[in-house]
Amino acid sequence: MTDCILERQPAQTDLFTQFLTALHADGMERVVPGRERSPECPRAGTGPIRVGACELHHGDAAGILPTLPAGSVDLIVTSPPYNIGKSYETRTPLTHYVAFIEQIIGECHRLLGPHGAMSWQVGNYVHKGEVIPIDSLIIPIFRSLGMKVRNRVVWSFGHGLHCSKRLSGRHETIVWATKSDDYTFDLDAIRVPQKYPGKRYYKGPRKGELSGNPKGKNPGDVWDISNVKHNHPEKLDHPCQFPEELIDRLVLSLTATDDVVLDPFAGSGTVGAVCNRLGRKSILVEREEKYVRMATRRLAGHAV
Ligand SMILES: C[S@@+](CC[C@H](N)C(=O)[O-])C[C@H]1O[C@@H](n2cnc3c(N)ncnc32)[C@H](O)[C@@H]1O
């Protein structure tokens, strides 16, 4: 969701997108020229649609999550609204915002199975120049539910707003917390190349053996991954899109094949798209109809 603290540029809307938007707006059949028929967008309150292994709900997370069965989810990956006045949110006093997030996290906790985990990607709430890191607000909520924080990953990126009265923000965080001590963590699935792959012990009983793991090294808790700005190949017309590489790492390390991943603030559907590609089931919830349409088309493999 890096755009929330980054320089805003006019959303790119090409002629093709305008054409699709017009088609959808007047209720005509949702057919892209030269392509197969595209799926219908779920209407709010009429139940989800399925696209691949993804179940997509159109509605408010506060209303949809209580309708889902307890213990039915293995991992929650999400980026909530930051209460900073984006197009899809209304700014509220900080106490109201925290109460809302607490309600959603409480529901997410109910949905998690006993070995489940949450990874919340957050930035800053900024009010009159004061910066409040949102992870400082959600970690106490996790802990009050008995969850244990396993990592606070720093996601760093090169581009963003140039601040004049404080240092320019170039990172956000991902808080990973588990419901119990028995949780999934597949390190091998996300190892990165060793800096010196041929390095060997030069003395001692293991002299001559490789000193690093030949499968690669632990990626650490600082991840430098480009944010999805306007020239990014994955860029859709959503202001706060996750880069797929970020979600790949979380899904690969924190779930097994066929596990269920939930994103209660799905936006353009990045979590669902990654899960479909990696063989995980997913449940997405999104309140804004235009993003539900975007996610529906993306998940079905159509241009958006
Ligand atoms: C930070 S964006 C998520 C972007 C997403 N990670 C992606 O890759 O596109 C937050 C999303 O939550 C949606 N949203 C805000 N309040 C919501 C609510 N109460 N229930 C469901 N969705 C909500 C917004 O419309 C927005 O698309």
Any atom of ligand 1 within 6 Å of the Cβ of 289: no
Alpha helices in 44-193 (DSSP H): 61-64, 94-111, 135-144
Q: Which domains does the chain have, with CATH numbers?
A: 48-184+221-287 (3.40.50.150), 194-220 (no CATH)
Residues 173 and 122: their CA atoms lie apart, in Å, by: 6
Strand, helix or coil for residue 67: helix
Residue by residue, DSSP assigns 228-261 as --TTSTT--S-TTPPPHHHHHHHHHHH--TT-EE
Helix axes 244-254, 270-278, angle to 10 degrees: 50
Residues 8 and 98: their CA atoms lie apart, in Å, by: 26
Averaged pLDDT for residues 288-295: 96
Ranked by mean pLDDT, which of 11-15, 66-70, 90-94 comes out on top? Answer: 66-70
Amino acid, res. 95: T
Q: What are the phi and psi torsion angles at 137 (to 5°)?
A: -90, -35
Residue 142: partners with Cβ closer than 8 Å, 6 or more residues away: 105, 118, 149, 175, 177
- State what percent of residues in the chain have pLDDT above 90: 70
Strand, helix or coil for residue 124: strand
Note the pLDDT of residue 22: 35
Residues 112 and 102: their CA atoms lie apart, in Å, by: 15
Please report, for residues 23, 60, 140, 213, 275, the alpha-carbon distance to residue 135 in angstroms, rounded to integers and kept in the order given: 41, 22, 9, 32, 25
Q: What residue owns the CA closest to ligand 1's atom 7? A: 241
Q: Which atom of ligand 1 is nearest to the CA of 104?
A: 19
Note the pLDDT of residue 19: 30
Tell whether the model's pLDDT for residue 179 goes beyond 60: yes
Any atom of ligand 1 within 6 Å of the Cβ of 100: no
Tell whether the model's pLDDT for residue 20 goes beyond 70: no
Tell how far CA 184 is from the center of its chain: 18
Note the pLDDT of residue 38: 59
Distance in Å, CA 198 to ligand 1 centroid: 45
Beta strands per DSSP E along 123-170: 124-127, 130-133, 148-156
Q: pLDDT averaged over the chain?
A: 86
Note the pLDDT of residue 37: 54
Averaged pLDDT for residues 284-296: 96
Any atom of ligand 1 within 6 Å of the Cβ of 227: no
Tell whether the model's pLDDT for residue 152 goes beyond 80: yes
Note the pLDDT of residue 89: 77
Residues 158 and 67: their CA atoms lie apart, in Å, by: 40
CB atoms within 10 A of CB 18: 10
> Which of 99, 48, 70 is closest to 269 using CA atoms?
48
Residues 127 and 36: their CA atoms lie apart, in Å, by: 47
Residues 38 and 66: their CA atoms lie apart, in Å, by: 29
pTM for the full predicted model: 0.86
Given pLDDT bands bounded at 50, 70 and 90, which one contains residue 35? very low
Note the pLDDT of residue 1: 52
Averaged pLDDT for residues 241-262: 97
Note the pLDDT of residue 88: 74
Tell whether the model's pLDDT for residue 113 goes beyond 90: yes
Tell how far CA 174 is from the center of its chain: 9
Distance in Å, CA 209 to ligand 1 centroid: 50
Strand, helix or coil for residue 51: strand
More confident residue, 294 or 304: 294
Distance in Å, CA 225 to ligand 1 centroid: 21
Region of poorest pLDDT, from 86-95, 100-109, 116-125, 200-209: 86-95
